Amino acid sequence: MKARVLIRPKEGILDPQGQAVERALPALGFEGVESVHVGRLVELEVADPSRLGEMCEQLLANPLIEDYEVELDDGAAR
């Protein structure tokens, strides 16, 4: 089963990559962008998705500063 894990900084956590992109967009002529957050997308092929949360908590994300969302190939967010 295919799974996607979207990892992004928690609300209120400094996001230097997002800030850099946010500053660069107007310089390139892209106006009207109010905020930018940069995260990661991890795609996995797993036989049993029941332990994906553990994988995220222990390795894929830093739960102190990042939130994550798991999406299975059926499109349902968990």
- pLDDT category at 46 given cuts 50, 70, 90 is very high
The pLDDT score that the predictor gives to residue 3 is: 96
Q: Where in the chain are the domains?
A: 2-72
Report angle CA 58, 35, 22 to the nearest 5 degrees: 95
pLDDT of residue 75: 53
CATH numeric code, 2-72: 3.30.1280.10
Question: Closest by alpha carbon to 39, among 2, 11, 76, 78?
Answer: 11
All residues at 6 or more sequence positions from 39 whose CB lies less than 8 Å from its CB, including other chains: 6, 7, 8, 9, 66
Confidence (pLDDT) at 1: 93
pTM of the complete model: 0.82
- Taking CA atoms, 44 is separated from 3, 17, 21, 62, in Å, by 5, 24, 27, 18
pLDDT tens-digit series, residues 13-45:
999 999 999 999 999 999 999 999 999 999 999
